Amino acid sequence: MEHIKSNIIKTIKEKSITKQVVYDHTYEAFKMLKQEVQGIVVNINEILDSCDERVKLSYRDRGDFEFELKVAGDILVFNMHTNIFEFDANHTIWKSSYLKKDSMASYCGVINVYNFLADSFKYDRLDDLGYLIARLFVNKDQYFLVEGKHQIGFLHNTFLDSKLSQEEIRGFAMAAIEYSLEFDLLVPPYKHVEEVSVAQMNDHINKSKAGTGKRMGFQFYKDKKDIV
């Protein structure tokens, strides 16, 4: 019993306290991300002052752990998960000498970025799909790494590249915006939409709810270029 008690105390002191520290750092990073995105909105909208109002950026706060950024016909949803995670045993992150010296540094908070079509929210198309384009991991030492599509994934794909800062957070947000603007909606293959039921057609005509998603048409197709 003493051995079990000792192990419980040891785990709380090491792992549980580490997770609380990671949570605090991740939450601070998310608040910083909110501030930077709001600044980006103001800055870019000033440049787009004479442009069509529909293409301007807008920010919407959805609580402590989520916010939206509308960019022209897209909406980026930034979400902070409230739990702390560890990378699976096969992840390349374990090759790092940094983690080999300190396994507690592998515990991370996660901030996800999803790309949706703005019309999906506007017309309440509940079956439309969003697309995870990036996620940012934060550890106890305030080091971070980024997994994402295309150029986003090359920002910081290993720990020790740099610590969190306003400049790094701004770069992460700008890369997500750039990617969403380049990530186009493709026409679905003919064979996937050649048949439609009366119910589906009535739903489409009356409520504009035919399922849609970027590069998906009416069905999800994985981007050929996988996450870095």
The overall pTM is greater than 0.85: no
Ranges of the chain whose pLDDT falls below 70:
150-158, 160-161, 186, 193, 204-228
Residue 108: per-residue pLDDT: 95
What per-residue confidence (pLDDT) applies to 158? Answer: 66
CA dihedral 96, 98, 99, 105 (to 10 degrees): -130
What are the C-alpha distances in Å from 213 to residues 106, 148, 177, 204, 209? 34, 18, 17, 15, 12
**pLDDT at position 43:** 95
pLDDT in the model for residue 206: 57
Residue-level pLDDT at 209: 45
pLDDT of the residue at 3: 80
